[in-house]
Amino acid sequence: MNSEQRAGTHKLSGRALEAQTLPLDPPFVRIRWRIFSFLFFFGFTAYVQQRSITIAAERIMPDLHLSQFQIGLLEQAFVIGYAAFQLPGGLLGQAIGARRTFVLIGLLAFLAMVATAGAPAVFAGLSVFVALLAAQLLLGTSQAAIFPVSAGVFADWFPPSRWAFVQGLQTMGLQLGAAVTPPIVAALMLRLGWQQAMFWISVPALAGIAWWARYARNTPREHSDVGRAELAEIGTHRADDAPAEPTLGRVLGVLADRNVVLLFGSYLCMNYVFYLLANWVFLYLIQERHFSVLESGFLATAPPLAAAFGAGIGGVLTGALCAPLGDRWGYRLVPLVALPTAAVLLLVAVHAGNPYAAVAALAGCYGAVELTEAAYWGTAMTVGGSDTMTVGGIMNTGGNLGGIIGIPIVAYLSGHQAWNTAFFVGVGFALASAAAWIFIDPDRRVAAGIGRAPAAEVPASR
């Protein structure tokens, strides 16, 4: 028997062994949904950590003698780190796998939160502000890989017919995290102070990181609890489309792709509105609508709660539209309707005479914006193929440039009592974001990627 025959026999015996050891019956809760629950948790935790600084700002400013513009700079530091490391984060995930990536970035994020809470105990004067800037920069850098890498995990663990759905569900988790942050941080601030509040909201992340490190695997075939039945449910769409080695040539090819450029620009424009609503509603309700701190903490939960429901509905709706209409119009339709609706609701919020009506309009606007998340990320996964994490990193770089552009604009305008102008700028960005979707074509894969089968050819998943 020659070496090739021996190798072939070894391969066959390995497959036979795999067939014997794989569980026959899938568990009631599929392993892919357990993996999803970790990503839901990581997204939820990330948004609690991100949003806590905007809520704590009401106490940080007088305690540390910081201006509202300096608070804007702290938020800017986070977004700069977050934007700058989107693409490197996606490439890191493709290079070392999601399991190690989430452990690494989760621990760095926890360290950043501890540093934020502890900075005033170590530094004073200008030094404490510099330390807070560095901590927020680290927080942004550490969290940058979450969503590009999550997109790659979803591509591995779910059939294409479920991509929009799971993306919508994960975004729902983010917004639920944003929704619970104002009342929790406000209550902890009033009882323990802002530093203790910042620390204690981050402690649960350590348990999640440890459990993920023990349980998770990069792909279904690597997980001992995934059986043949569940592998059949997931499908074979990744057999020839596994995460590619992130070479310079592949990255340049993805960067030059028309769809990727359009997704980058559209997501940038949409995220001006996103950051306006996510970061500034709490202070807007206090300064412009004259609610108390505690009342604002509870009312500020309305927009992210609406966003959470919008994200979940958007995932279901986008997936439902893709089945009869195909990827091109199934992914396009929701953004083309939802983003102009968000622009109209921003105008309603500005002109509402009743402050509670303004809160309702802001909630509706945030919900409309988040309806589109499944379309953005589902499209990135569909056109990305083996370069999904790279495409996700590039698109989310654009999204966070929207924050980098928007945060100083809103900080300056709000600091000069020009909140309405900040909202008017958002109207223009929302309409520009919608216009880009006319030219995005989810049927056309990136040049550097490998084509994948349409969702209709993949077995449906439960």
14 within domain boundaries: no
Contact 25, 119 (CB under 8 A): no
Cα–Cα distance for residue pair 371/375, rounded to 1 Å: 8
CA angle 169, 95, 222 (to 5 degrees): 65
pLDDT category at 286 given cuts 50, 70, 90 is confident
What's the mean pLDDT in 127-156? 93
pLDDT of residue 16: 41
CA angle 223, 224, 227 (to 5 degrees): 95
DSSP assignments along 322-389, one per residue = HHHHHHHHHHHHHHHHHHHHHHHHHHHHHH-SSHHHHHHHHHHHHHHHHTTHHHHHHHHHHHHGGGHH
Number of neighbouring beta carbons within 10 Å of residue 96: 12
pLDDT category at 12 given cuts 50, 70, 90 is very low
What's the mean pLDDT in 330-355? 93
Cα–Cα distance for residue pair 102/361, rounded to 1 Å: 36
Q: Where are the alpha helices (DSSP H) in 85-162?
A: 86-96, 98-122, 126-143, 146-157
Contact 91, 396 (CB under 8 A): no
Contact 357, 112 (CB under 8 A): no
pLDDT at 459 over 80: no
- Split into its structural domains, the chain has a count of 1
- Which has more pLDDT, 285 or 402? 402
Contact 418, 407 (CB under 8 A): no
What's the mean pLDDT in 47-59? 83
- Which has more pLDDT, 398 or 249? 398
**Chain-centroid distance, C-alpha 307:** 13
In terms of Cβ atoms closer than 10 Å to its own Cβ (0-12, 13-18, 19+), residue 441 is middle
429 within domain boundaries: yes
**Residue whose C-alpha is closest to residue 270's, from 370, 143, 379:** 370
pLDDT at 102 over 80: yes
268 within domain boundaries: yes
pLDDT of residue 8: 46
pLDDT of residue 3: 44
Q: What is the CATH number of the domain that holds 257?
A: 1.20.1250.20
Cα–Cα distance for residue pair 368/19, rounded to 1 Å: 47
41 within domain boundaries: yes
- Which has more pLDDT, 441 or 20? 441
Q: Which position has the token pair 């400013």?
A: 61
pLDDT of residue 22: 52
227 within domain boundaries: no
What's the mean pLDDT in 432-444? 95
pLDDT category at 66 given cuts 50, 70, 90 is confident
Domain housing 330? 31-216+245-453
pTM of the model: 0.75
134 within domain boundaries: yes
462 within domain boundaries: no
pLDDT category at 294 given cuts 50, 70, 90 is low
* Mean pLDDT over the full length of the chain: 84
pLDDT digits (tens, 9 = 90+) for 147-203: 999 999 999 999 988 999 999 988 887 778 777 777 888 888 888 888 888 888 888
What's the mean pLDDT in 45-72? 84
389 within domain boundaries: yes
Query: How far is the CA of 396 from the CAs of 100, 145, 147, in angstroms?
Result: 21, 10, 8
Contact 42, 146 (CB under 8 A): yes
